[in-house]
Structure 1
Amino acid sequence: MQDFASAAMVRLLVRAMAAHGLVPPPPPPVADGLAASHVPLAYKRSVVEAVLHQGGLGTLLQLAQRVDLLAGDPVHRALLGASSPPELMARWQRLERYVHSRHQVSITASIPGELALRHHARPGVPEEPHPTESLAVLGVLVGASQALDVRGLRVEIGAPEAAGHRVNLRMEAPVATPAELHAQLAPLAAQKLLGHWTLHWEHHDSNAPTTPTQQPQPATHLCDALPWPPLAHQLARHVLQDPAALHTVDALAQHTGLARRSLQRALTESGLSCRHIVTEARARVAAQWLLESPHGLAEIGFACGFADQPHFTREFARHVGLTPARYRQAFAGECMAEPQKLSI
């Protein structure tokens, strides 16, 4: 069986290579190229090797931070809906589960303003991630944190117990050059310590959400035509602002300022429920992505807040009448039915 990797990560690296004057490998020989949700693991590794050959470890870390080059992708929208590094990590971990990643990032310690993380193989996976794969994941997490306007961000790389074998990187300007970064990271790569990280940032005791400047404007109007009462429309617009968030009943009640039971009772009187409103909103966002983008079903399902692929397929079909694949096939039109070429 062939192993696969997340196409979103590979798209980011390929686009960043082109933007920085490097030459990426030819697109993988699969039907949808990099527009699918997954690409062969061998292709991902060929991209990483191309970056290393042309620029080194420092260039790999810096290119992986260019999350702005994923703007328009559902994964970009979902990750940058976070308001803090801990929430970003929760979304990243859900993405790993959704796409059945062979490797995962685990939180080994957490205090306000600090997260200790480890990138490692999932249970049952015999092969640990290559140090350069860990470095690429770290770059994406750092780049996403920067896009969230996190202040004072710095990263320690290396196992906590490896005294004298840790690199402390300040991620705000002025930053080290790629050559300087390579010199610092190469010894850790040789010792396979690039999968241990501690993120530090300025913590603020504030519940006020932040709005990332790179976040696309959400389509909050998608449920407006439904014959729902104002309370239901208020909830739908809230869900559509960030469908990837965990919209629990308690969270929705807090948003409306109502007690949990009062909210449920008010919706029941109109024949509605929190679950129905949330799923209807997510299904409509997913339908828009299916019709207007070439992105894979797994990425769209994740970005729209569904728990996994079977959940996406089941709930979308229940609300729309067709599975996501059949819906795209039936309504996307000839331009979307044709194989998509890589756009960088």
Structure 2
Amino acid sequence: MQDDDHNDFASAAMVRLLVRAMAAQGLALPPGLPAPAALAGSHVPLDCKRAVVQAVLAQGGPALLLNLARQVHGLQGDPLHRALLGASDVHGLLARWQRLERYVHSGHQVSMLAQDPGRVSLHHHARPGKGGAPLPPESLAVLGVLLGCCEALGVPGLAVHLGGGTALPLSGGPDLAAALATAIAQGHASHWVLHWQPTAVAAMPEAAPTPDPQSTLCDALPWPALAHQIARRVLHDPAGEHSVHALARSQGQASRTLQRHLAAHGLSCRTIATEARTRSAAQWLLDTPHGIAEIGFACGFADQPHFTREFARQVGMTPARYRQAFTAG
């Protein structure tokens, strides 16, 4: 078994989200859809993705597509859901989304054009050298997921304008359909301005995945108490950056002081974070059918080769072989 698991898990997750939201609303699903277990992986055929989007558009147009994509609770229990909703504010969410695009080598990307407190201007466009611009449904699906994440995080006063200033009535109804029709006709579906009240946003309390973060995964290791505190912090949100500065601040210490204390025990922030992320990934590999690439992203690895390399170094076998060896029964 090879570890080059198809990296387009973000697109597969979008299909899962739309299918679950359609089923919840009693909408007709396209014929020939893969079984739910197949949709849990990373291999969703392109024809299937297109059929799902076309089925949504046929039954409710762009407004329905946007609203279904906002139902991010439909991904609860997925690694991607855990990773995105680990953010503490809008900027943190956007940073995670941009890391996701880099991880999956997406042909499209969301770029930040301008930002102010409580406001950010975004453009969804083709990555240089990656082909054509996204179609309006593709942009609206991405916008819907970002809006749904903001809503799940409890972002106060959330509002959206498209392109030249078309306001989106997020409450839905015919006004939303009309606004989207205008934006698409004017070529503005890929230009977004998000507004919100610039106050602290608490992470959604129900964002805990299945399996649970298991903050005790490293507790059996012969580490000092300080190292265990850092490991628990990483395990709570493996997808976070967890820089030395951030970890030191969380412990009320200067970066050099923290590094010196850990070094006295032959440890570093990097070794602790890698161990915690590897153990979290191992749990996902054994307990869920989700794709290897998606698990690597949710556990904070830079890309799939980095995940495979670090996991093999820590465990002695690649993620794919680990899953094969310990879930054979």
Q: TM-score, normalised by structure 1?
A: 0.88
Question: Aligned residues: percent identity?
Answer: 61
Q: Which residue of 1 aligns with 2:320?
A: 325
Q: Distance in 1 between matches of 2:320 and 2:42?
A: 13
Q: Across the two proteins, how many residue pairs are aligned to each other?
A: 320
Q: Distance in 2 between matches of 1:125 and 1:235?
A: 39
Q: Secondary structure at the match of 2:245?
A: helix
Q: 1:156 aligns with which of 158, 161, 164?
A: 161
**Amino acid across the alignment from 1:169:** L
Q: Is the 8 A contact 1:96 1:104 kept in 2?
A: yes
Q: Which residue of 1 aligns with 2:205?
A: 213
Q: Distance in 1 between matches of 2:36 and 2:128?
A: 31
Q: 1:93 aligns with which of 95, 98, 115?
A: 98
Q: Secondary structure at the match of 2:215?
A: coil
Q: Distance in 1 between matches of 2:202 and 2:213?
A: 15
Q: 2:39 aligns with which of 5, 9, 34?
A: 34
Q: Distance in 2 between matches of 1:170 and 1:276?
A: 47
Is 1:203 matched with 2:198? yes
Pairs within 5 Å for 1:13-32: 13-26=18-31
Deviations along 1:282-326, whole A, 9 cap, x unmatched? 000000000001101111001000000010000111111111111
1:285–1:27 CA distance, 2 compared to 1 (3 A): farther
Q: Which residue of 2 aligns with 1:126?
A: 131
Q: 1:147 aligns with which of 135, 146, 152?
A: 152
Q: 2:172 aligns with which of 172, 176, 191?
A: 176
Is 1:79 matched with 2:90? no
Gaps of 5+ in 1: 335-344
Gaps of 5+ in 2: 1-5
Q: Distance in 1 between matches of 2:37 and 2:203?
A: 33
Q: TM-score, normalised by structure 2?
A: 0.92
**Amino acid across the alignment from 1:167:** T
Q: Distance in 1 between matches of 2:276 and 2:7?
A: 34
Q: Is the 8 A contact 2:168 2:179 kept in 1?
A: no
Q: Distance in 2 between matches of 1:187 and 1:248?
A: 44
State the Cα distance separating 1:264 from its structure 2 match.
Answer: 1.1
1:125–1:67 CA distance, 2 compared to 1 (3 A): same
Deviations along 1:50-87, whole A, 9 cap, x unmatched? 10001111111110000000000000000000011110
Q: Distance in 1 between matches of 2:194 and 2:22?
A: 26
